[in-house]
Structure 1
Amino acid sequence: MWKPDRTSKTALYQQIAEYIEQRITLGEMPPGSMLPSERKLAEQLGVNRSTVVQAYENLRASGIIDSTTGSGTRVTKSRMGMAQLQTPNWNRYVEGGTLLPSLPFLRKIREGVQSGEPFINFANGELAPELSPNEWIRNVLQNQPFHEPLGYGDPQGYVPLRNALASFLLEHRAIKATDDSILVTSGSQQSLYLITQCLLSPGDAVAIENPSYNYSLPMFQSAGIRLFGLTVDKDGVDPEEIRTLFKLHRIRMVFLNPNYQNPTGTVLSTQRRADILACCEQLGIPIVEDDPFSLTSMDEEVPPPIKSLDRSGTVLYIGSLSKVAASGLRIGWMVAPHTVLQRLVDARQQMDFGLSIFPQWIAAHLLDSSALTPHLYRLREALRSRRNLMANALNRMLRDKISFELPAGGLNLWCKINEDVDDYTLLRNGFKRGVLFVPGSVYGSEAGFVRLSYARPAVEDIEIGISKFSEALHETITR
């Protein structure tokens, strides 16, 4: 958030007035837009209320804003000397469009992350910088000659990367794939977007786990797709629920996250994998298997993906380097039948003509490198340490107030609050104390659950953050 410069010779009230006028002129605040109250803006900018009062008075004197008792302060709909100029009503535009905005909870969390305030971030499901292979990447950039052309690349993905992915998937996930059966995407989310836009139609019914990360993605609702939940128990999804939903709603696709499911951390049992695949093969329903967390396994041999059992081309397999290397590389992939890939490649080319060659080149080197296995080992050890640190802090500070199962992989703890709480109040109380987390209702669960990520914050901040979360929870319960 913008803040006035206290070292400037320009008075603070004048800086604030100029900043607001600039935003209005640029169309960021269209005619009729509501301005914050004087008290609220003063708190946001860290100035006295009298400073904001003076800034608003200057803007009112210029005919830029109007204030009405009981109705607040708004941008005027016509400005003196500028009646012939009409600023577009951007509010009408941003409320339109086909892609829906993110959920209010997620927008609130994003505002906190982007505010520059020193929040302890348990909301962001990505790796901390020190968990990424940054030093190895720097060495590659310094020592490996880059000779690739800088024109538009293959929209299906950089061929050496697809070859490296085929070897990687066979070695680490027991999936047989060729470079022709792999599409490189900008992370797992682009794979999901392509599927919803190209393989499904408005009104189609799909089954997703409940709770599920997919509930937080407006792309499904934007595409007009009807979502039906599959209950997640300790063994994952029950295949009989898929049969029931097919009979009732003729579902056309099943979306699953079998290993360390986001947000619950559940692992789909080996028997249910086979049963779900057999069920979907019988019904002719594709399975979209999203598998970002398998290589974060800490304490067990992770079950092989459903795709490794697939002999009929039923499974579209999605993976990513975001949770095991670096989210900023934006490298994901999909393994799919050739006819599906051709459709998605065509759509992908219409969108962006393919990914930048640089991250694909780096990813190809990483997957072929002897440094990959040591990196994965260090990552798992670091995640285990962080998970245990968070779990111990929760048990010590909130033993009677919260319960959870210790996940054997992934980046998150899924916690049930053993008291009646309001999600928004809890989130607001966390904001006040400088800690961010995701309420479970974002993922489709009932109120009283939270997802806490131990992968993003610094190690020394985890216990401090849990202390702040504990204070926020106690205040919420008390009220």
Structure 2
Amino acid sequence: MWKPDRSAPMPLYRQIVEHIERGITYAQLPPGSVLPSERKLAEQLGVNRSTVVQAYEELRASGLVESTVGSGTRVSLTKWGVSPLHTPNWRLYTEGGTFLPNLPFMRRIREVTRYDASIINMASGELSSDLFPNRIVSRILREESFDEHLGYDDPQGYLPLRQALVNKLLQDQNLITSETSMLITSGSQQSLYLITQCLLSPGDAVAIEDPSYTYSLPMFQSAGLRIFRLPVHADGIDPEDIITLYKNHRIRMVFLNPNYQNPTGTTLSDVKKKRVLAIAADLRIPIVEDDPFSLTDFRGSIPTSLKSLDKDGIVLYIGSLSKTAASGLRIGWLVAPQSVVDRLSDARQQMDFGLSIIAQWTAERLLASEEFDKHIKELRQSLQQKQLLMLEALTHTLQDRISFVPPVGGLNVWCKINHAIDDGKLLEEAIKRGVVFVPGSVYGSEPGHVRLSYAKPRPEEIAIGISAFAEALERS
């Protein structure tokens, strides 16, 4: 992201003017392109709003941009006196296509966190940098010899990595599988994308939890799927609701996050897990189990996965290193019947010819390291300590204005605000005070819920962030 140089002799507003002029000249900002509001651009560039106002005034005076009340500022339809008859209307292209953009709240959160490093980020589900196994990875890269072929890899993924994952899943979760039934992906979301694109068709009905992280992913709507909800209770969904949805809508697939569910933190009881599997087997519909948080269990007693109980081959199991090791490695996996793995491998090869062999090799070495189990133990301790800091701050600062049930694993606290609230206003008030969170409506819940993540903030930031959130709540 370009930013003006404060040490340069040229005034900041002139640097902004010249930067936008270059974008227009080189067609990076075609005619009709909408520019950020004065406030947003000031936030992005780290300057006073008055500086951006001055820059926009000069650009308007030169005829390069035009502003309309209610529509904002955009690049003029003529530039430098030349009619743009031969320039494509990029706005129509960017507003078209079948793949929908992220939800507005999520775009706003990402915009703020991208350009303001000082903001306390309680929206992200990514671990803070001090929780990554940097020391282990550095040792691997420094001491171990990389002798692998640097060409395209097996479409299913690097074989030694699949073998290492087979061993870890058996060791940690008593989940029995084989390397032939596993596909390496670039994370859980790529697994979900492949499933929605390759195993389902437009118009198909699917069931998801309510609320659910899945609801925040427009890829389901982009695939033309009809979404029906399974309300989440204190011990997860009611399995009988699956039968009701099947009778009423002929659902073809069920998407569940049974352990430390995102965003609520609930865990589906073992009794319910067995009932879900029995119902799915009777109806002959697959279950997609997204399981990113099981290893974060603070007690070290990892909850049972649906896949480890699956005797009928109906569960497609999704896992990832993003929430337990390193999101930047972009390593996820999908365990499925061989025919499904073959179908999704073929599709993935059309997309990117497979993942980086270097990242996969590093992940395999990390999993094989004796230090990895120690890393997981330390991660659990750190996450539990962060959660305690958040719970103490919430209890002390907000008292009876908010209610929550703390989970014993995962990365989030799901909170209910005990009075009527406008999600959008609360988020903007929080941003003004230097903290972001995810409004519950992003996950399909009724307004008045928020997801606060303790994964990303540093321990010393948590109480400050909750205090800022409380102030925002007071003003909303």
Is the alpha carbon distance of 1:74 and 1:385 closer, same or farther for their aligned partners in structure 2, counting shifts above 3 Å? closer
- Aligned partners of 1:69, 1:392: CA distance in 2, in Å? 46
Given the superposition, is the C-alpha separation of residues 341 and 84 from structure 1 closer, same or farther in structure 2, using an over 3 Å criterion?
closer
> Where do residues 61-460 of structure 1 align in structure 2 (5 Å cutoff)?
61-67=61-67, 73-83=73-83, 86-299=86-299, 301-460=301-460
Change (3 A) 1:224 1:239: same
Distance 1:392 1:434 in 2: 20
Q: Distance in 1 between matches of 2:37 and 2:325?
A: 44
Distance 1:457 1:331 in 2: 23
Bigger mean CA offset, 360-369 vs 131-140: 360-369
- Matched letter for residue 114 of structure 1: R
* 1:117 Cα deviation after fit: 4.1
**Alignment match, 1:7:** 7
Cα offsets for 1:394-413 (capped at 9, x unmatched): 00000111111110100000
Structure 1 pair 25/86, CA: closer, same or farther in 2 (3 Å)? farther
5+ residue gaps, structure 2, are none
More deviation, 196-205/16-25:
16-25
Counterpart contact for 2:404–2:413, Cα < 8 Å: yes
Q: Give 1:189 deviation, angstroms.
A: 0.7
Conserved 8 A contact 1:124-1:453: yes
Give the secondary structure class of the aligned counterpart of 1:227: strand
RMSD of aligned C-alpha atoms? 1.9
For the residues of structure 1 that align with 2:178 and 2:354, how far apart are their CA atoms? Answer: 19
Range with bigger deviation, 324-333 or 16-25: 16-25
Partners of 1:259 and 1:40 lie apart in 2 by 38
Kindly indicate whether the alpha-carbon contact (under 8 Å) linking 1:103 and 1:218 is maintained by their aligned counterparts in 2. Answer: yes
The answer to whether the 8 A contact 1:161-1:364 is kept is yes
How far apart, in 2, do the equivalents of 1:124 and 1:40 lie? 20
Taking structure 1 as reference, are residues 154 and 97 closer, same or farther at Cα in structure 2, changes over 3 Å only? same
C-alpha displacement at 1:47, in angstroms? 5.4
User: Per-residue displacement from partner, 1:230-285 (whole Å, max 9, x unpaired)?
Assistant: 01101111111000000000000000111000000000000000000000000000
Contact kept? 1:157, 1:183, Cα under 8 Å: yes
Do the aligned partners of 1:414 and 1:449 also contact (CA within 8 Å) in 2? Answer: yes
Q: Deviations over 1:158-214 (max 9, x none)?
A: 000011111111111111111101111101111000000000000000001100000
The amino acid across from 2:255 in the alignment is F
**Aligned in 2, Cα 1:73/1:311: closer, same or farther, shift over 3 Å?**
closer
Q: Which amino acid aligns with 1:93?
A: Y
The aligned amino acid for 1:401 is: R
1:259–1:302 contact (8 Å) kept in structure 2? no
In structure 2, how many angstroms separate the alpha carbons of the residues matched to 1:406 and 1:36?
Answer: 39
Shift of 1:36: 5.4
**How far, CA to CA, are the matches of 1:191 and 1:121 in structure 2?**
26
Q: Do the aligned residues in 1 keep the contact of 2:31 with 2:84 (CA within 8 Å)?
A: no
Judge conservation of contact 1:398–1:470 (CA < 8 Å) in 2.
yes
Paired position in structure 2 for 1:471: 471
The count of residues paired between Structure 1 and Structure 2 equals 476
Tell me whether 1-10 or 319-328 shows the greater mean CA deviation. 1-10
Q: Does residue 462 of structure 1 match 2:465?
A: no
Task: State TM-score, norm by structure 1.
Answer: 0.95
TM-fit CA distance, 1:19: 1.4
Q: CA deviation at 1:7?
A: 1.7
The answer (yes or no) to whether the contact 1:412–1:452 under 8 Å persists in 2 is yes
Q: Residue deviations 1:86-115, cap 9 Å, x none?
A: 332211111011110000000000001111
Structure 1: distance between partners of 2:142 and 2:462: 34
Identity %: 62
Q: Work out whether residues 77 and 84 of structure 2, in 8 Å CA contact, stay in contact via their aligned partners in 1.
A: no
Residue 21 of structure 1 aligns with an amino acid whose one-letter code is E
Q: How far off its partner does 1:433 sit?
A: 0.3
**Cα shift at 1:33:** 3.6
Cα gap change, 1:361 to 1:88, in 2 (>3 Å): same
- After the TM superposition, which of the residue ranges 37-46 and 212-221 deviates more from structure 2? 37-46
The 1:398/1:70 distance shift into structure 2, 3 A limit, reads closer
CA deviation profile, 1:108-157 (whole Å, cap 9, x unmatched)? 00001111341000000011111111101000000000000100011101
Given residue 152 of structure 1, which amino acid in structure 2 is its aligned partner?
A: Y
Whole-angstrom CA distance in 1 between matches of 2:411 and 2:41: 36
1:30 equivalenced with 2:59 (yes/no): no
Counterpart Cα distance in 2 of 1:401 and 1:80: 57
- Cα gap change, 1:111 to 1:374, in 2 (>3 Å): same
Q: Which moved more, 1:340-349 or 1:60-69?
A: 60-69
SS in 2 for 1:416: strand
| Residues in 2 aligned to 1:40 and 1:119: alpha-carbon distance in whole angstroms | 15
- Which consecutive residues of structure 1, in runs of 5 or more, have no partner in the other structure? none
Contact 1:27 1:88 in 2 (8 A): no
Change (3 A) 1:46 1:232: closer
